[in-house]
Amino acid sequence: MSDITTTSAPLRWLALPPSRNGILLALTLCHACVALAVCLMLGQPFAISTLSVLVMLGATLIPTFLLVLLGAYFLRLAFHIRPVRPVQRFVRDIRCVALDAHRLRTGLSALLVMTVFTGCFSLMKSHIPLMQPFAWDTAFAELDRLLHFGHDPYVLMQPLLGTPLATTILNAAYHFWFFLMYFLLFMACFDKNNVAESGAYLIAMILTFSLGGNVLATVFSSAGPVYYAEFGFGQDFVPLMDMLHRFNEVSPVWALNVQEMLLAGHYGQGPVKGISAMPSMHVASTVMMTAYAFTWRRWAGWLMVGFTILIQLGSVQLGWHYAIDGYFGAALALACWWAARRLARLAAPAG
């Protein structure tokens, strides 16, 4: 009888539902093993940028996130909840959050796992040209024209967006994406009120970036319109790049500097690497953020729909992507969101 009891304990443990962080860790470990295998195959060092990402988060992003959250909550107390003593209520509520050991423990561990994944993803993305040279640009440019009435999509956008100011606004939105993505990742890691949906968002980001930004980006290796001439595909997008340089003389187009850094890194003359067009991870991740925002508030979701449109337009106007890169990225994100929500339900009882 004692033997049965002894052996049933590990079986009961195996039957427990996986935690949210357990699923994130399992997916990240699988991704890291693939990244390690690729590095060994290519004879490249397995050097992930986890430490630099942690430094960026701790020194810059997380303090900024906390200031934004504290300011927003104080305004909510002052103008919406309106307690008798708003300052005392504010201090009390902040102390409750700061002393919530379970939230801090699970949130920090999730953030660490996501940081490790980010490092592995960046490493894999930088090796795409070594695994598969850029070969799909001509096909994607032709498909773009086929889907857009025989025109390059950026040409169709010029009556509305063909001005220096409009281009700068699109570029600002494109850069703001970076802050917003990390902000929502931070919020999802420490969310304890909507565990299933925040877990689905984190899982979906890992699925989308690993499948889209690594696997499919390697299979359909392409450089994008900005590098079309550089890699010998023709002069089709020279007018677009000439236009961006003219606009930059009037109103800043910061993307041009980033594009130069990526090209220098591609040739081994700089630390920033990762040229890849198909699918657009800017669009894919923004669609994911939109889906997550709808689980919080409908107005937030519709606001993110508008932001997604800006990102799609910006990806084309700034020469980063063919329009179909964004279409494909959006479809991939929705598929990964569907799969992630089902995976997250496994973790809901444990959460």
pLDDT tens per residue across span 119-129 = 999 999 999 99
Q: How far apart are CA 340 and CA 9, in angstroms?
A: 30
Assigned domain for 7 exists: no
Question: Does some domain include residue 216?
Answer: yes
Residue 20 domain flag = no
Query: Considering the domain boundaries, does residue 11 fall inside one?
Result: no
| Residue among 17, 204, 230 nearest 137 (CA) | 230
Residue 78 burial (C-beta neighbours within 10 Å; 0-12, 13-18, 19+): middle
Given a contact cutoff of 8 angstroms between Cβ atoms, the answer to whether 185 and 294 are in contact is no
For tokens 């959050």, what's the residue?
97
* Residue recorded with tokens 């519709």: 302
Residue 302 lies in a domain: yes
0.85 cut: is pTM over it?
yes
Length of the chain: 351
Q: How many domains does the chain have?
A: 1
Residue 75 lies in a domain: yes
- Report the pLDDT value the prediction gives residue 103, as an integer from 0 to 100: 86
In this prediction, residue 261 carries a pLDDT of: 94
Tens of pLDDT, residues 228-280: 999 999 999 999 999 999 999 999 999 999 999 999 999 988 888 889 999 99
- DSSP for 259-309? HHHHHHHHTTSSS------SS-HHHHHHHHHHHHHHHH-HHHHHHHHHHHH
Is residue 46 domain-resident? yes
What percentage of the chain reaches a pLDDT higher than 70? 93
Query: Which residues have CB under 8 Å from 305's CB, separation 6+?
Result: 290
pLDDT band at residue 18, thresholds of 50, 70 and 90?
Answer: low
- Residue 191 sits in which domain range? 30-347
The CA angle 67-59-88, to the nearest 5 degrees, is: 30
